[in-house]
Amino acid sequence: MLFKSEIVTQASGSIGGTTYAHNSSGLYRRARSIPVNPNSAAQQAVRSNFTSLALAWNNVLTEAQRTGWDNYAELTPITNVLGDPLTLSGQQEYIRCNAVRLAAGGTRVDVPPAIPGLAMLTPPVATISIAAGTISVAFTDTDDWAIAVGGHLKVQTSRFISPGRNFFKGPYRNLLAVDGAVVPPTTPVTNAANAFGQSVALATAGQKCSLRYVATNTDGRISSVVSELVAVVA
């Protein structure tokens, strides 16, 4: 739970039976609900990755590597939901970066990044076509993740939502991953799979789908998360 001031001018999270959140009108409160936990295969995979990374931090990394991740985290603050800077621990940063790599089909990076800060990601642009039954993602093939073996772009998608929605928080599912190479991958990349289990061919023109992107460089650094709401075309 995060909040500012005694009269709660800014808040995010839950306390007791009340959840604080934001919409287009500002701050609101609602009764806290217990999230559904279907324990899907995707959830199990994510939890398994987190467990393996926590074990690697304790049992595989050297003390010098752990210190290096602490230093990287200190020099790479993130922004919390209230817009304030937040410094993670070295372990948190190690797991955060490597969880993206494993989800994208990459390998774990134990050596801490030598360069502080986030990786660069030029925002990709997606096209969703009912006629083709595909989601096509155009990316910048000169970004650092794209021009080196060990770089990856992870793409996630939401379910199809109504045309009137202009904001989507989650949940997301993995759609595809693009691997970097010395000879950059070809853009755009097209995927004929379903969006969050829903067939693109059965979508309605004008519906929207939220796509979320994050890149990981070969040195383990990840980019900021970039998202876009894409209107489905006939």
Of 89, 88, 86, 80, the closest CA to residue 11 belongs to 80
pLDDT range class, residue 203, cuts 50, 70, 90: very high
pLDDT range class, residue 37, cuts 50, 70, 90: confident
Residue-range domain boundaries for the chain: 2-31, 41-103, 125-233
Residue 11: how many other CB atoms lie within 10 Å: 22
* pLDDT (average), residues 65-79: 96
Q: Which CATH architecture has domain 125-233?
A: Sandwich (2.60)
Across the chain, the runs of DSSP E, i.e. the strands, are 2-4, 10-15, 18-23, 26-31, 78-79, 85-86, 125-129, 134-138, 152-161, 173-179, 189-191, 208-216, 226-233
Q: What's the predicted TM-score (pTM) here? A: 0.84
Average pLDDT, whole number, for the chain?
Answer: 89
Residue showing tokens 């489905």: 232
Residue showing tokens 């739970």: 1
pLDDT range class, residue 194, cuts 50, 70, 90: confident
What is the end-to-end Cα distance of the chain in Å, rounded? 43
One-letter amino acid for residue 202 of the chain: L
Percent of the chain with pLDDT over 90: 70
